[in-house]
A and B are shown apart, each in its own frame.
Chain A
């Protein structure tokens, strides 16, 4: 069964450093997403991406964040200058359509900012 894969599974970074989280969505999917889950809190939407551009973003997704689909298979989330409060589990997801098509999620990247 096809799946969304994320690397790395765990990333520890110093405050102020740049970090890139990587995802390989399901190959025939057209919509790509990033969500995050701070420990003990809800899963929160960050951004959706379609046709090589952002289609929706949340208030959380400020200028420190960016997304890219560099090569037609990978989908990345970059945080330019990490803060302690960026520590969370980050989930990548993809779907074939929207809004009535289910999204498939990766296993997550746990980001720890120290």
Chain B
């Protein structure tokens, strides 16, 4: 069965410090990987994706993510966290020939303190 895991329910970071939000996946076939962010009372906003090519992908708001095929991971990173980055982050995977279905992780609450 295909699945996505985000092992941390919550990540706490001080403003200005680097942040990492972890994601691992288990799929058959080549994965297409996505990160979304959800602010309170808002929908999910697309941050970045990995389709093919360079394992390090850059996205919105200074976020980046590294695809690691051997570890089946796609961790989200940012070199210097902002208080405004505090939100709920979701990792998701899409598979070819499944109608565009996204399988989501359970989400990680990121809290950045001043």
Q: Which residues of A contact B (CB under 8 A)?
A: 4, 6, 31, 33, 35, 41-45, 48, 50, 55-56, 58, 91, 93, 95, 97-108
A20 to B35, CA, bound (A): 29
Could you tell me if A56 and B43 are in contact, using CB atoms closer than 8 angstroms?
Answer: no
B101 interface contact, C-beta 8 A = yes
Could you tell me if B44 and A105 are in contact, using CB atoms closer than 8 angstroms?
Answer: yes
Could you tell me if A99 and B100 are in contact, using CB atoms closer than 8 angstroms?
Answer: yes
A43 to B34, CA, bound (A): 14
Residues of A within 8 A of B106 (CB): 41-42
Residues of B within 8 A of A42 (CB): 104-107
> Closest residue of chain A to B59, judged by CB?
A102
Could you tell me if A99 and B107 are in contact, using CB atoms closer than 8 angstroms?
Answer: no
Interface size class of B (residues with CB under 8 A): 20 to 34
| Interface pick from B14-22, B63-71, B90-98 | B90-98
A49 to B106, CA, bound (A): 24
Residues of A within 8 A of B99 (CB): 31, 48, 50, 55-56, 98
A7 to B38, CA, bound (A): 19
Could you tell me if B100 and A108 are in contact, using CB atoms closer than 8 angstroms?
Answer: no
